[in-house]
Chain A
Amino acid sequence: QVQLQESGPGLVKPSETLSLTCTVSGDSISTYYWSWIRQPPGKGLEWIGYIYYSGNTNCNPSLKSRVTMSVDTSKKQFSLKLTSVTAADTAVYYCARAGPGGGTINWFDPWGQGTLVTVSS
């Protein structure tokens, strides 16, 4: 079955760029949309954005100016970059498949295990 795995640094300094990659296994990256979602400590989930294999993206208006997403279909990976990070960006970052496909997103499933990124000097 499809599995997703996030990877990237667990510690990022303030004002620097957070970079994460999600590797997809067990499914074609070209069928679905793929999304990033985060959860700050003790808080709820926040949708960050999605990317399609074609490179089409959209993201949360509150993060739009700082977010860049990309996809590498040959490696079955998609990536997130978040610039000018602050302590408020400390969170567990999840990648998730966004389905059901065919140009629509009705759900996020499955999710990766998540990776904690701490912003601190």
Chain B
Amino acid sequence: QSALTQPRSVSGSPGQSVTISCTGTSSDVGGYNYVSWYQKHPGKAPKLMIYNVSKRPSGVPDRFSGSKSGNTASLTISGLQAEDEADYYCCSYAGSYTWVFGGGTELTVL
């Protein structure tokens, strides 16, 4: 069970859109529609932003969207705002009642 692969960092200017990728295998991301995304600000607990690939929990702005193609899931943040600057982690069901996270992506709002 290897960690999912995410870019170390991405950046964008306020108002722009950014996409964070999360690459796994057919045994995790590609095999199930149970990908979730978490936002983590320094010193704070992670917050669920997307689940089941593309569903948003109540209270999460619709600027956040998720998708999946093959073994790669993506989180897109449109209309970037300063408060979006954080670390983002993907997570996928990996079969046999186990879950695997990505290494995390640092989003910088320029």
Contact = CB atoms under 8 A, between A and B. Distances in A.
B3 A44 contact: yes
Nearest to A95: B45
Contacts, number: 68
Nearest to A56: B97
Interface stretch (A12-20, A78-86, A102-110): A102-110
Interface string A40-54: 000111110010000
B93 A114 contact: no
Nearest to A99: B51
Interface in B27-75: 34, 36, 38, 44-48, 51-52, 57
A108 B91 contact: yes
26 contacts: A44-B3, A44-B102, A44-B103, A45-B38, A45-B89, A46-B101, A47-B91, A47-B100, A58-B97, A59-B98, A60-B98, A61-B1, A61-B98, A94-B46, A96-B46, A105-B97, A106-B36, A106-B51, A107-B51, A107-B57, A108-B91, A110-B45, A110-B47, A111-B45, A111-B46, A114-B45
Interface of A: 37, 43-47, 50, 58-62, 94, 96, 105-114
Interface of B: 1, 3, 6, 34, 36, 38, 44-48, 51-52, 57, 89, 91, 93, 96-104
